[in-house]
Amino acid sequence: MLRLPIIVNDFLDIFRKNKFQIFVVGGAVRDLLLNRNVDNWDFATSATPEEILKLFPVGFYNNKYGTVTIHLDKSLFEVTPFRQEGEYKDQRHPDKIEWAKTIEEDLSRRDFTINAIAFDGKKLIDPYQGQVNLEQKLISAVGDPDKRFNEDALRLIRAVRLASELGFLIEEKTRLSIAKNAHLISKISWERIRDEFFKILSSNHPSEGVLFLRNSGLLTFIIPELDVCFIIPQKSPKRHHIYDVGTHLVMALKHCPSKDVITRFATVLHDIGKSSTFRRDDKSGLITFYNHEVVGTFMVKKIADRFRLSKNQKDKLVKLVQHHQFTVSELQTDKAVRRFITNIGKEYLQDMLDLRYADRVGSGATPTSWRFELFKKRLIDVQKEPFKIADLKINGHDVMKILGIKPGKKVGEILKSIFNDVEEGRLKNERSILLKKIEDFKKL
């Protein structure tokens, strides 16, 4: 027996007391049946938007779909009058929205069977066997898939998104129809594609989602640069690679420890420059991708613009791809390690390390190595050392006092010289040691 939280039951009661029909629908019923957490509650009602607003004047309504949004407690309630849709001519928007009289009509215009179940608080209304598909872990279109994807092409990628979030497969007829109609996705705005694609990346099964996009032909319309990577081989003598570039990128995504969507995006794009830098030496058979990170940087800038990323998102994506080839040699100087931190930016350091981890595991390598561990330790250590003169444990006053000199150029020069010694590792940044060092300048 499904149980609704008290706040939701009370909400339903207010409508019923006013003689309106109301049902919990969509993702909320689906997630209740799956025992998943629900924070966004979708409702369908016989009330009109105006009538809903009379009951809940705090509601917010400015939407062409007639949805009234109400924030109660920490939950979001979205109430939509029963709908029936008119004709679609542009694969995006119904030409006009018409209200329906019954919940059954409303359910018939919903996208997938598992999203087309209604619950009135006591019984489930499930005309399309959504519960059977939930049991089978299958995404199936309501009715004729070709017709449904032609009405609204966003459903093509919503199917993949739901499958990735729920760990479901897509039912065969629906799957074949997605492949057949994949080109229609180009009718959808990049913002809406991005929102769904980012949900795929953030889901529990992002690599399966991207592989499905590839296999269904959707990827070639969304990120053609990634699509071509699946035909770029990289197995060659003396190289550790076991996968083609595309499979490697998807495997890296699978193992990316970060939940951050931009870090995951960077992970699945990091080698994107390999498609145009591929070279195979005729004699040795050796495959190389010189400067692929430079080419890749240009490519992800374009992808970021296409996906309408914010300035910060773009900056992060570009930096992670641009610097993903960093070396972790024990022979690097502290200065080089610091330069690495400055290049990436402290705020993205963990993301960069997560990408490297994903890159390693996604190539079939061990998760770490002693060099990688040493490098991570050095990142912490060098950050304890000063980056700027102001971080030294001494300052100009100490110099003037010990040397008995007045403010001037000389004070700065002495600090700079000591700073260099600390940065190069010749001196430790400890006050007693640096005070003693100032004494050396007495002789000069």
Give the interface with ligand ATP as residue ranges (CB under 6 A): 26-27, 40, 42, 110-111, 115-116, 152, 154-155, 158
Closer residue to ligand ATP (CB): 115 or 234: 115
Minimum distance from residue 141 beta carbon to Mg ion (Å)? 18
Question: Residues near 352 by Cβ (< 8 Å), separated by ≥ 6?
Answer: 320, 323, 324, 326, 344
Closer residue to ligand ATP (CB): 23 or 326: 23
Q: Rounded to whole angstroms, how far apart are CA atoms 295 and 278?
A: 11
Closer residue to ligand ATP (CB): 141 or 226: 141
155 binding partner (options Mg ion, ligand ATP, none; Cβ < 5 to 8 Å by kind): ligand ATP
Minimum distance from residue 27 beta carbon to ligand ATP (Å)? 2
Long-range contacts, 218-225 (Cβ 8 Å, 24+): 218/156, 218/157, 218/160, 218/178, 218/182, 218/185, 220/182, 221/182, 221/183, 221/185, 221/186, 222/157, 222/185, 222/193, 222/197, 223/269, 223/303, 225/269, 225/272, 225/275, 225/299, 225/303
Q: Rounded to whole angstroms, how far apart are CA atoms 413 and 380?
A: 28
Count the Cβ atoms, other than its own, within 10 Å of residue 424: 11
203 binding partner (options Mg ion, ligand ATP, none; Cβ < 5 to 8 Å by kind): none
Closer residue to Mg ion (CB): 27 or 296: 27
Closer residue to Mg ion (CB): 80 or 174: 80
Residue 394 in contact with residue 430, Cβ under 8 Å? no
Residue nearest to ligand ATP (CB): 27
175 binding partner (options Mg ion, ligand ATP, none; Cβ < 5 to 8 Å by kind): none
Minimum distance from residue 310 beta carbon to ligand ATP (Å)? 21
Query: Residue 138's beta-bridge partner residues?
Result: 169
Q: Which residue has the tokens 């499930």?
A: 126
225 binding partner (options ligand ATP, Mg ion, none; Cβ < 5 to 8 Å by kind): none
Closer residue to ligand ATP (CB): 209 or 296: 209
Minimum distance from residue 227 beta carbon to ligand ATP (Å)? 24
Minimum distance from residue 79 beta carbon to ligand ATP (Å)? 12
Minimum distance from residue 155 beta carbon to ligand ATP (Å)? 5
Alpha helices (H) in 217-291, listed in sequence order: 219-222, 224-227, 245-255, 261-269, 274-277
* Chosen residue from 27, 81, 130, 273 binding Mg ion by CB under 5 A: 27
The four Cα atoms 305, 247, 375, 388 give a dihedral, to 10 degrees, of 0
Q: Give me the sign of the Cα torsion angle 312, 314, 318, 324.
A: positive
Closer residue to ligand ATP (CB): 164 or 207: 164
Q: Name which of residues 34 to 63 contact Mg ion (CB under 5 A).
A: 40, 42
Closer residue to ligand ATP (CB): 71 or 240: 71
Looking at residue 77, the DSSP 8-state letter turns out to be: E
Residue 300 in contact with residue 317, Cβ under 8 Å? yes
Q: Helix, strand, coil % (nearest 5) of the chain?
A: 55, 10, 35
Minimum distance from residue 153 beta carbon to ligand ATP (Å)? 9
Minimum distance from residue 60 beta carbon to ligand ATP (Å)? 16
Binding site for Mg ion (CB under 5 A): 27, 40, 42
